[in-house]
Amino acid sequence: MRIIKKYGNSLLKKELKACYRFFIKEANLDSKSKGYGLIRDKDMYADDIASIASVGYGLAALVIGTNRKWISYPEAYKRASKTLDTFLNYTEGVNGFYYHFVNMHTGKREWNCEISIIDTAIFICGAILAGEFFKGEIKQKAEELYKRINWQWYRNKKNNYFYMGYKPETGFWGQWDMYAEQLMMYVLGVASPSYPINKNMYDDIKKPNSTYAGIEDIIYTYCGTLFTYQFSHAWIDFRDRKDDNGIDWFENSKKATLANRIYCIKNKDRFKTFNENSWGLTACVGPNGYSGGYGAIPALADVDKQNDGTVSPCGPIGSIVFTPELSIKALENFYNNYPKLWGKYGFIDGYNLENGEWYSKEVIGIDKGISMMMIENYFTGLIWKYFMKNRYVIKGLELLGFTKEREKIKT
């Protein structure tokens, strides 16, 4: 057992550096390649498959690494700029949106995947962040990519929701009809200088709320999975902000995280993996493959049937800004008592104790990304500081009616 006493912050820093290494080591750095800067979806079983969301987090890694002097400014600047060139010139997409998974070397569609609005949004958030941090041609290229996105094309005019996905063979499918991880899409969409959406797209999404274990008015997501309460918050600083209807999304994510932990405590007799320091139900790799259905009450889905006892370290790590003390205790438990959870890129994706001990063999870019960004925000607020400087982000929040509490008092 690897016990290190009073080391919460040092463990977080260790995980931060390990997450950063994923995005540095798993990137295509062949200067002659059309896929320069593309980053693998995961470190195993995807040798030639990049995720555009991984690239968004990878651009954030360059910002973090430069600020922490893990990489030189000129090297990071070159990597960020050439990565954006790849998206300007080679990465396959439609109307400014990109395919979810693309070939590492060509930028062309892989796995018969969809044109993804949410993964495009994550990528463009990374581009905007890099633009604000590095300035110069990187900011210009990020703005050009942002202006290309035709948010109106992805809108279902019949119900005023964004579609969930698009394939050229079958057209659009699904809909973003309720609150989840997509708040960033409305902030970016409403502020677009080229294809803006109306504020009512944000207003019209369903925002169901419920009380769980004494925690009142949790606006919950379909599966109650933690990443849905984290992803937009990694970029946008919602602290001390409420919308026109008085919704405080930061406080809501805090409540949802507490509910997730309590759900695990209440179900510790049902699943061996669950307890007060082993929680974090979020999309991750489980014994039967990747699942987006792991989650907690409150939820629209029947999570009791969807959970199988799998816990992911990225759940509590991604909530470090909401529940710092509880998240750190969970990470210390993972690190001290389950050494197989630690690999070359820090914590692996998940573990399950139902039938012996099962540990995922891989790490996934989006899970390393949310972990990395939230740890950095917890320590320094670096991501929030630079992302919130962007004029379109500022405009988008204003158009959606988000005002800081102290600004409301002044007026």
Tens digit of each residue's pLDDT (9 = 90 or more) over 368-401: 999 999 999 999 999 999 999 999 999 999 999 9
Could you tell me how far CA 239 lies from the centroid of its own chain?
17
Fold assignment, 8-410: Glycosyltransferase (1.50.10)
Cα gap 162→205, rounded to integer Å: 10
What is the band of 404 on the pLDDT scale with cuts at 50, 70, 90?
confident
Cα gap 350→354, rounded to integer Å: 13
Cα gap 36→125, rounded to integer Å: 19
What is the band of 110 on the pLDDT scale with cuts at 50, 70, 90?
very high
pLDDT of residue 347: 98
CA atoms within 13 A on the CB side of 140: 5
In sequence order, the β-bridge partners of residue 291 are 284
- Answer whether residue 302 shows pLDDT above 70: yes
Tens digit of each residue's pLDDT (9 = 90 or more) over 317-349: 999 999 999 999 999 999 999 999 999 999 999
pLDDT of residue 243: 96
Which three-class secondary structure state does DSSP give residue 407?
Answer: helix
Q: Please give the model's pTM, rounded to 2 decimal places.
A: 0.96
Angle between helices 52-67 and 73-89 (to 10 degrees): 160
Tokens representing 45 are 């079983």
Both ends of the chain: CA-CA distance in Å?
57
- Answer whether residue 182 shows pLDDT above 90: yes
Cα gap 225→290, rounded to integer Å: 13
Q: What are phi and psi of 228, to 5 degrees?
A: -70, -20
Dihedral sign computed on CA atoms, order 12, 15, 17, 20 = negative
**In whole numbers, what is the pLDDT of the chain averaged over residues?**
95
Tens digit of each residue's pLDDT (9 = 90 or more) over 208-249: 999 999 999 999 999 999 999 999 999 999 999 999 999 999
What is the band of 45 on the pLDDT scale with cuts at 50, 70, 90?
confident
Of all residues in the chain, the percent with pLDDT exceeding 70 is: 97
Cα gap 79→399, rounded to integer Å: 33
> Which residue has tokens 């949004």?
121
CA atoms within 13 A on the CB side of 135: 2
- pLDDT, mean of residues 83-102: 98
Q: What are phi and psi of 407, to 5 degrees?
A: -70, -35
Cα gap 354→276, rounded to integer Å: 17
- Answer whether residue 411 shows pLDDT above 60: no
- Computed on alpha carbons and rounded to an integer, the radius of gyration of the chain in Å comes to 20
- Answer whether residue 409 shows pLDDT above 80: no
In terms of DSSP bridges, do strands 209-212 and 289-291 run parallel, antiparallel, or are they unpaired?
A: unpaired
Closest CA to 288 of 208, 205, 358: 358
Tens digit of each residue's pLDDT (9 = 90 or more) over 258-278: 999 999 999 999 999 999 999
- Answer whether residue 99 shows pLDDT above 70: yes
pLDDT of residue 151: 98
What is the band of 46 on the pLDDT scale with cuts at 50, 70, 90?
confident
DSSP letter for each residue of 200-214:
HHHHHSB--EEEETT
More confident residue, 2 or 18: 18
pLDDT of residue 47: 86
Show Cβ contacts of residue 211 under 8 Å, excluding neighbours closer than 6 positions. 217, 218, 298
The DSSP element (H or E) to which 255 belongs, if any, is helix 249-266
- pLDDT, mean of residues 32-39: 98
